[in-house]
């Protein structure tokens, strides 16, 4: 494998931004320094002062394979992710069939081999009746176990209290939860149906899938985790109300962590009028005050991880009325650029984005040798160019072919993405082959 020298970069890593050069050799970061001299036959990239970041690690995507390949598949969605600077993804178990045993899990790894543009991990799912498979799970075979403590896309609700308790007691990996209280949501939905019949406006979504439903379920997850000292990661926090349930501070040493998602930081209730079901998702996008509180919670380390919850559906499905339109939106391609808008607005630093979107998921899931600009680590890298980019549907690489950001102009774009030391995105197109590797977990 040839070597590449990136010179004159502004490296962003572990809380620091500094000028430097970085050499890639044999798929790894061989050197970080200043004034590095090119070897003969080495490819030299002049970064011209642009920001060079570790590739982002997205700990929450739905790539739909197997079973819903008409919406998305591992090849198309990982290509979109790499184009957006996301070099690693961890994929959810609500596929068809769902990932409820070791065989289904290994089937996903086989599917990803040779087709995933980014590095990959697959979660094991929980159900009301797969406790034995969870207890027997090899902790090095999955980043974690996903528990739907609220019903969403797919039929994976775990609502048997004894089962939930046993899963929190026995899980051999971190547990990640979707927290929304289903009985509360069902009761609100019935009230809205009584009022509107089948014509419920999508702007009611955050009232039906309410902040109270989020809080109640998150409280339950945290109380179970405290009882059993479980390593718990609560996904997609969407309300200001839940923030008081989490401790501020660095992720190291925390047993209970929180994640929020890019769409909660860029959209709010006012956007339902313009975007309708396109931004219908679970949990729901809530108020502008929630959005600002979530951004502040990232900045002050109450929320530990930023992710996407990339959940593509076809535009035809999204065009259905509120009650039948599925929840979820495609995000991987523009998520990093959307997060960097918060830097442009002075609400976060680039180092904080890197912390939440690369370092933190690597630490939380014990990912081996990724997520940092460190010598010896995998050369998963993204170079950011501060030239504006306007999102057009024609440029969307996700199979569904649309983006909630269509028409948005970002201040930055992804100039290059390297995966395992190989250029995968050159700023205009994918290049080479799908070079993603199976994640290894140091546990």
Q: Exactly one of 13, 60, 94, 333 binds ligand DOR (CB under 6 A); which one?
A: 94
CB 270 within 8 A of CB 213: no
- Catalytic, 198? Answer no
Give the nearest distance from C-beta 247 to ligand DOR in angstroms: 25
> Which C-beta is closer to ligand DOR: that of 99 or that of 153?
153
Residue whose token pair is 């904080």: 352
C-beta closer to ligand DOR: residue 89 or 425: 89
**Can residue 327 be called a binding residue for ligand DOR (CB under 6 A)?**
yes
Give the nearer residue to ligand DOR in terms of CB position, either 7 or 61: 61
Residue among 114, 133, 115 nearest 123 (CA): 133
Give the span between the Cα atoms of 300 and 331, in whole angstroms: 24
- Give me the least distance between CB of 359 and ligand DOR, in Å please: 25
Q: What is the smallest separation between the CB atom of 178 and ligand DOR, expressed in angstroms?
A: 5
Q: Which two tokens stand for residue 223?
A: 């109380």
Q: How many residues bind ligand DOR (CB under 6 A)?
A: 11
- Contact segment (CB under 6 A) with ligand DOR among 226-234, 326-334, 366-374, 379-387 equals 326-334
Query: Between 18 and 70, whose beta carbon lies closer to ligand DOR?
Result: 70
For residue 161, the Cα-to-chain-centroid distance in whole angstroms is 28
Q: What are the Cα distances from residue 154, in Å, to 93, 111, 150?
A: 9, 20, 11
User: Residue 64 or residue 363: which is nearer to ligand DOR going by CB?
Assistant: 64
Give the span between the Cα atoms of 103 and 196, in whole angstroms.
45
**Is residue 262 helix, strand or coil?**
helix
**Both structure tokens of 336:** 């990093």
CB 82 within 8 A of CB 430: yes
Instruction: List the catalytic residue out of 309, 385, 433, 442.
Output: 309
Residue 281 or 339: which CB sits closer to ligand DOR?
281
Q: Binding segment for ligand DOR among 53-61, 225-233, 325-333, 378-386 (CB under 6 A)?
A: 325-333
Q: Provide the minimum distance between the beta carbon of 404 and ligand DOR in the complex, in angstroms, as a whole number.
A: 12
As to burial, measured by CB atoms within 10 angstroms (0-12 exposed, 13-18 middle, 19+ buried), residue 49 is exposed
**Shortest distance, CB of residue 312 to ligand DOR, whole angstroms?**
8
Residue nearest to ligand DOR (CB): 328
Q: Does 281 bind ligand DOR (CB under 6 A)?
A: yes
Residues 123-152 that bind ligand DOR (CB under 6 A): 152
**Shortest Cβ distance from residue 311 to ligand DOR (Å)?**
4
Contact window for ligand DOR (CB under 6 A) among 182-190, 238-246, 253-261, 324-332: 324-332
Cis peptide preceding 97, ω within 30 of 0: yes
Nearer to ligand DOR, 94 or 127 (CB): 94
Q: How far is CA 311 from the centre of its chain?
A: 10
The sign one gets for the Cα dihedral 369, 370, 371, 375 is positive
**How many other C-beta atoms can be found within 10 angstroms of the C-beta atom of residue 443?**
11
148-187: contacts with ligand DOR (CB under 6 A)? 152-153, 178
DSSP strand pairing (381-385 vs 413-419): antiparallel
Give min distance, CB of 326 to ligand DOR, in A.
6
**Residue 363: which H helix or E strand, with range?**
helix 360-364
E-state strands within 237-304 = 256-261
**Residues marked as catalytic:** 309
Instruction: Give the footprint of ligand DOR on this chain (CB under 6 A).
Output: 62, 94, 152-153, 178, 281-282, 311, 326-328
């Amino acid at each position: 494998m040839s070597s590449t020298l990136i010179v004159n970069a502004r490296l962003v890593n572990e809380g620091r931004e500094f000028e430097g050069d970085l050499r890639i050799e044999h798929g790894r970061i061989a050197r970080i320094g200043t004034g590095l001299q090119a070897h003969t036959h080495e490819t030299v990239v002049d970064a011209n002062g642009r920001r060079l970041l570790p590739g982002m690690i997205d700990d929450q995507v739905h790539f739909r394979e197997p079973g819903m390949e008409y919406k998305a598949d591992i090849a198309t969605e990982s290509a979109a992710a790499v184009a957006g600077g996301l070099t690693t993804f961890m994929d959810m178990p609500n596929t068809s069939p769902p990932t409820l045993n070791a065989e289904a899990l290994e089937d996903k790894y086989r599917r990803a081999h040779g087709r995933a543009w980014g590095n990959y991990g697959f979660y094991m799912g929980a159900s009301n009746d797969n406790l034995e498979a969870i207890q027997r799970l090899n902790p090095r075979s999955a980043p974690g176990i996903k528990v739907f403590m609220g019903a969403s896309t797919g039929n994976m609700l775990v609502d048997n209290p004894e089962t939930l308790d046993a899963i929190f007691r026995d899980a051999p990996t971190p547990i990640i939860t979707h927290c929304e209280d289903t009985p509360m949501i069902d009761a609100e939905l019935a009230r809205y149906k009584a009022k509107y019949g089948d014509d419920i406006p999508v702007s009611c979504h955050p009232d039906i899938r309410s902040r109270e439903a989020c809080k109640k379920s998150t409280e339950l997850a945290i109380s179970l985790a405290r009882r059993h000292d479980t390593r718990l990661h609560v996904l997609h926090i969407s309300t200001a109300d839940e923030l008081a349930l989490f401790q501020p501070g660095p992720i190291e040493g925390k047993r209970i962590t929180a994640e929020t998602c890019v769409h909660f930081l860029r959209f709010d209730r006012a956007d339902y009028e313009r975007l309708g079901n396109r931004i219908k998702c679970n949990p729901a996008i809530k108020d502008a005050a929630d959005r600002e509180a979530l951004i502040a919670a990232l900045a002050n380390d109450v929320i530990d991880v930023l992710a996407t919850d990339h959940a593509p559906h076809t535009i035809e499905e999204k065009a259905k009325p509120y009650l039948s339109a599925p929840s979820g939106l495609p995000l991987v391609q523009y998520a990093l650029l959307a997060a960097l808008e918060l830097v442009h607005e002075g609400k976060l630093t680039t180092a904080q984005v890197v912390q939440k979107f690369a370092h933190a998921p690597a630490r939380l899931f014990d990912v081996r040798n990724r997520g940092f600009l460190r010598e010896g680590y995998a050369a998963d890298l993204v170079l950011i160019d501060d030239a504006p980019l306007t999102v057009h549907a024609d440029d969307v690489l996700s199979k569904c072919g649309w983006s909630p950001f269509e028409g948005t102009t970002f201040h930055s774009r992804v100039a290059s993405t390297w995966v395992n030391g190989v250029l995968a995105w050159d700023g205009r197109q994918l290049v080479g082959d799908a070079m993603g590797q199976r994640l290894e977990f140091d546990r």
